[in-house]
């Protein structure tokens, strides 16, 4: 999963696909990929 961050307000959203608009300020086209989260396949944040 990736983390996307809004250039305008700094809000973040985790997901597989880039959001079309920011969930906080509703600005279109401001969400940029911040980092890639490693998935262990179990659905939690552990490092199995």
**Nearest residue to 32 via CA among 10, 40, 1:** 10
Residue 14: which domain range? 2-36
Is 43 part of any domain?
Answer: no
Task: Say which residue the tokens 């911040």 belong to.
Answer: 34
Is 42 part of any domain?
Answer: no
Residue 46: the pLDDT is 65
Counted domains in the chain: 1
pTM beyond 0.85: the answer is no
Is 46 part of any domain?
Answer: no
More confident residue, 9 or 47: 9
Residue 34: the pLDDT is 87
Is 20 part of any domain?
Answer: yes
Residue 45: the pLDDT is 65
Distance CA 21, CA 44 (A): 26
Is 12 part of any domain?
Answer: yes
Residue 24: the pLDDT is 96
* Per-residue pLDDT tens digits for 1-42: 899 999 999 999 999 999 999 999 999 999 999 866 665 566
Dihedral angle computed from the Cα positions of residues 31, 33, 36 and 41, in that order, rounded to the nearest 10 degrees: 40
């Amino acid at each position: 999963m990736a983390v996307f961050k809004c250039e305008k307000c700094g809000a973040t959203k985790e997901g597989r696909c880039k959001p079309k608009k920011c969930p906080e300020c509703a600005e279109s086209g401001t969400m940029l990929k911040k980092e890639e989260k490693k998935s262990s396949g179990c659905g939690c944040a552990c490092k199995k």
